[in-house]
């Protein structure tokens, strides 16, 4: 049973009388702060209360932010020399050349530390899975996308057949994408959405802290009389930013009191794409769109927003949407990932076809003109987030599945 909890705390019935300490190693080849990294930082402290001790191994490269998050959460993190996958010839050569030595390094760590379970995140993060199998440690493979290129998907299928003891999938579409029609479907599997800390992402919970929203480009600051339309997503083509800008342009023709805010980092590989977006904004004469960069105060930004928009072309379990729901914001989202499972179209938000700018524009227009609907949708959205997406619920599912997979080692 899970009881109400606040940020990074958990009241868990039975936590004082655990079935026995289970030691889990989590391997992240990419340590940039993103969905998998944030999930680890949120879930690990809570499963610790369930007698599951987590050690996170992550790439040293670009790891300062993630290392700090782990430290703040009280989780043991170990930075290791492991090459992260990525674009570019040099990066891929380094990744492939270091593959055997890095697997051997992880194998030795798993054997020496006598872990009960290895958890790897993402179909392309193969080294931890192979090392865990060689060390005789059960491997839980966490899958959280539905758009991986065919070559990587096939490589995953080959390695997972021998190395995976079970799967965590972040949504039904992820399960179908990776497991449907394959022998992997016979392995243990559990669906756990990306979590949201509903105690932290709580309306009126920001204590009046102001959100600095005038960043990324010049323009007038947000007025309290403006209607603020927010999206939170790293700047890349899969987040549908061009559609977001097209929507903004269409609505700006009718309304003079709109501000469009976009919070998300720009990786070096997408600077060209970002430059193209800025040219697009200039060509349309828009002066009410602000790119805010990567933000650590997302809850504050959400507090100041009136409408949340997800314009993505592909998602699995979009944490930013769940956070908006938790903050009682009405959401207009493309039909990606498991959004339809938690947003009931026309009841607590709107769902539109992927790439349909006209439909997105009209649903946002409906919310602009109906403040009562915005409040009703937001209240209902939070009820769903608390009931089905809270981090405590997700952590308990992790703990139960971990113990199931670890128990299989002894049978």
Q: Please give the full DSSP string across 119-142, using - where no structure is assigned.
A: EEESTT--HHHHHHHHTT--EEEE
Same fold: 22-195+390-408 with 227-389: yes
CA angle centred on 250, ends 246 and 252, rounded to 5°: 115
Residue 390 tokens, joined? 């809270």
User: Is residue 101 scored above 70 in pLDDT?
Assistant: yes
- Three-state secondary structure call for residue 386: helix
Q: Are 168 and 190 in contact (CB under 8 A)?
A: yes
What are the structural domain ranges in the chain?
Answer: 22-195+390-408, 227-389
In 70-162, the DSSP E strands lie at: 76-80, 117-121, 139-143
The dotted CATH code for 22-195+390-408 is 3.40.50.2000
- The CA distance from 24 to 43, in Å, is 13
- The CA distance from 176 to 280, in Å, is 36
**pLDDT score, position 316:** 87
- Three-state secondary structure call for residue 398: helix
User: Is residue 11 scored above 50 in pLDDT?
Assistant: no
User: Is residue 213 scored above 80 in pLDDT?
Assistant: no
Phi, psi of 22, deg, nearest 5: -115, 130
pLDDT per residue over 260-302, tens digit each?
999 999 988 899 999 999 999 999 999 999 999 999 899 999 9
Q: Are 287 and 217 in contact (CB under 8 A)?
A: no
- How does strand 331-334 pair with strand 307-310? parallel
User: What number is the average pLDDT over the span 360-378?
Assistant: 98
- How does strand 227-232 pair with strand 189-191? unpaired
pLDDT per residue over 41-93, tens digit each?
899 999 999 999 999 999 888 778 888 889 998 999 999 998 877 666 776 77
- In b/e form, how buried is each residue of 117-155, taking b as 16+ CB within 10 angstroms? bbbbbbbbbbbbbbbbbebebbbbbbbbbbebeeeeeee
Which fold does the domain 227-389 belong to in CATH? Rossmann fold (3.40.50)
User: What number is the average pLDDT over the span 307-314?
Assistant: 96
pLDDT per residue over 190-211, tens digit each?
999 999 999 999 998 654 454 5
Strand order of the β-sheet with 349-352 is 289-293, 258-263, 227-232, 307-310, 331-334, 349-352
């Amino acid at each position: 049973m899970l009881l109400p909890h606040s940020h990074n705390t958990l009241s868990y019935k039975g936590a004082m009388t655990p079935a026995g300490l289970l030691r889990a190693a989590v391997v992240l080849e990419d340590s940039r702060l993103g969905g998998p990294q944030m999930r680890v930082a949120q879930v690990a402290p809570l499963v610790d209360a369930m007698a599951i001790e987590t050690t996170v191994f992550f790439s040293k490269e670009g790891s300062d932010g993630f290392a700090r998050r782990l430290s703040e959460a009280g989780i043991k993190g170990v930075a290791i020399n492991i090459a992260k996958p990525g674009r570019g010839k040099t990066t891929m050569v380094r990744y492939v050349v270091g593959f055997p030595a890095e697997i051997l390094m992880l194998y030795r760590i798993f054997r020496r530390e006598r872990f009960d379970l290895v958890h790897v995140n993402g179909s392309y993060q193969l080294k931890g899975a192979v090392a865990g199998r060689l060390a005789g440690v059960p491997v839980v493979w966490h899958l959280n996308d539905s758009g991986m290129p065919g070559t990587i998907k096939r490589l995953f299928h080959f390695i997972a057949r021998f190395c995976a003891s079970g799967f965590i999938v972040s949504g039904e579409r992820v399960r179908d994408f990776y497991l449907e029609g394959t022998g992997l479907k016979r392995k243990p599997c559990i669906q756990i959405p990306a979590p949201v800390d509903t105690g932290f992402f709580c309306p009126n919970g920001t204590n009046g802290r102001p959100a600095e929203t005038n960043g990324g480009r010049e323009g007038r600051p947000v007025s309290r009389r403006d209607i603020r339309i927010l999206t939170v997503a790293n700047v890349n083509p899969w987040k549908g930013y061009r559609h977001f800008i097209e929507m903004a342009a269409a609505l700006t023709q009718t309304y003079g009191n709109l501000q469009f805010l976009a919070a998300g980092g720009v990786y070096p590989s997408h600077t060209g794409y970002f430059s193209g977006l800025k040219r697009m904004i200039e060509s349309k004469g828009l002066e009410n769109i602000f790119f805010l960069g990567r933000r650590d105060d997302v809850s504050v930004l959400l507090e100041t927003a009136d409408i949340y928009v997800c314009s993505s072309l592909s998602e699995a379990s979009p944490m930013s949407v769940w956070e908006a729901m938790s903050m009682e914001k009405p959401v207009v989202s493309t039909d990606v990932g498991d959004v339809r499972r938690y947003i009931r179209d026309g009841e607590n938000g709107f769902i539109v076809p992927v790439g349909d700018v006209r439909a997105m524009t009209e649903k946002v227009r409906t919310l602009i003109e109906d403040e009562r609907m915005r409040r009703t949708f937001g209240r209902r959205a939070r009820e769903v987030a608390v009931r089905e997406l809270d981090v405590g619920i997700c952590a308990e599912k992790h703990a139960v599945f971990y113990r199931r997979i670890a128990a299989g080692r002894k049978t």
